[in-house]
């Protein structure tokens, strides 16, 4: 059995590409993440950020290239493990909660599908997760339609954390949250990486949060990596794409829609 947590290189991507109708939407030559590292992906809308997460999860197939997890090809691991997806915690941009399930059933989805489950123990763990994301115990018995957008986001985050997965893929985890809750969520992401060595890839437009939670930052533009480096170097680089994005400037290599 592969030790998922002790291999230094947790994720490696080589020559990964994806096209739609002949137009290349993603083209990443090389990317490596070690166990416990947190990569935040920034970039304008439509640059391939969410697409990369969906390809890594297997929701969308890639055209060319290889994905290695703990030194083994993703295809090999998928073929030899019925619970391969359980190694990933995913927060989708729109939360993607199951409408017919209560909050606690959404969060405990992976555990409840197993044959032998202790629902009392699972529900207690869910209550703890809800508290960590700033939600009261009574929320556990509500349905997604009864929650605000911000609450749904936090439930989705709790579901991603459930089971302490090897990998966290979070799409805009702080979007729509107030500054205090955003800071709390950032601290929780850091705690998850530190205590459980979760390797994380996070899509974020919140640069303040990105600086707090990441060890590395990568910027995508039109499906290509235009900058990649340690978080500490983000504000030092003279890369024109990064400069335009940080300063929210209308002038620069990133095209801005005008009337």
> How confident is the prediction along the chain (259 residues), in pLDDT tens digits per residue?
344 444 589 999 999 999 999 999 999 999 999 988 999 999 999 999 999 999 998 899 999 999 999 888 988 888 776 677 888 999 988 778 999 999 999 999 888 877 677 888 999 999 999 998 889 999 999 999 999 988 998 999 999 999 889 999 999 998 888 888 888 889 888 888 888 888 999 999 989 999 999 999 999 999 999 999 999 999 999 999 999 999 999 889 998 755 4
Q: Which two tokens stand for residue 155?
A: 């439930």
Q: Which two tokens stand for residue 157?
A: 């985050």
CA angle centred on 157, ends 34 and 68, rounded to 5° = 30
CA separation for the pair 44, 26 (Å, rounded): 14
CA separation for the pair 193, 189 (Å, rounded): 6
User: Which domains does the chain carry?
Assistant: 9-247 (3.40.50.300)
User: Tokens 């941009």, residue?
Assistant: 93
Question: How many CB atoms are located within 10 Å of the residue 171 CB?
Answer: 23
CA separation for the pair 3, 250 (Å, rounded): 48
CA separation for the pair 183, 180 (Å, rounded): 5
Nearest to 16 by CA among 67, 71, 88: 67
β partners of residue 41 = 203, 218
pTM: 0.89
HSE of 87 in the Cβ direction (CA atoms, 13 Å)?
Answer: 21
Question: CA distances (Å), 50 to each of 25, 67, 169, 178, in order?
Answer: 11, 16, 10, 23
CA separation for the pair 161, 101 (Å, rounded): 18
- List all residues 6 or more positions away from 254 whose beta carbon is below 8 Å from its beta carbon: 44, 221, 241, 244, 245
């Amino acid at each position: 059995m592969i030790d998922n947590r002790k291999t230094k290189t947790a994720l490696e991507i080589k020559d990964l590409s994806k096209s739609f109708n002949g137009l290349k939407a993603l083209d990443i030559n090389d990317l490596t993440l070690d166990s416990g590292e947190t990569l935040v992906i920034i970039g304008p809308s439509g640059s391939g950020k969410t697409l990369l997460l969906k390809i890594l999860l297997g929701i969308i197939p890639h055209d060319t290239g290889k994905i290695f997890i703990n030194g083994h090809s993703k295809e090999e691991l998928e073929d030899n493990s019925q619970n391969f997806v359980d190694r990933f915690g995913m927060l989708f941009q729109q939360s993607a909660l199951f409408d017919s399930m209560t909050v606690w059933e959404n969060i405990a989805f992976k555990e409840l599908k197993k044959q032998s489950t202790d629902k009392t123990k699972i529900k207690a763990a869910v209550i703890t997760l809800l508290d960590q994301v700033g939600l009261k115990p009574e929320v556990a018995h509500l349905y997604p339609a009864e929650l605000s957008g911000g609450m749904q986001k936090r439930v989705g985050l709790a579901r991603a954390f459930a089971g302490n997965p090897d990998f966290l893929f979070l799409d805009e985890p702080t979007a729509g949250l107030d500054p205090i809750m955003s800071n709390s969520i950032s601290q929780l992401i850091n705690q998850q990486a530190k205590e459980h060595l979760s390797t994380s890839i996070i899509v974020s437009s919140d640069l303040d949060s990105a600086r707090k939670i990441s060890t590395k930052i990568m910027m995508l533009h039109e499906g290509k990596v235009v900058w990649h480096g340690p978080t500490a170097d983000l504000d030092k680089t003279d890369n024109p794409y990064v400069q335009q994005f940080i300063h929210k400037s209308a002038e620069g290599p990133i095209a801005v829609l005008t009337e």
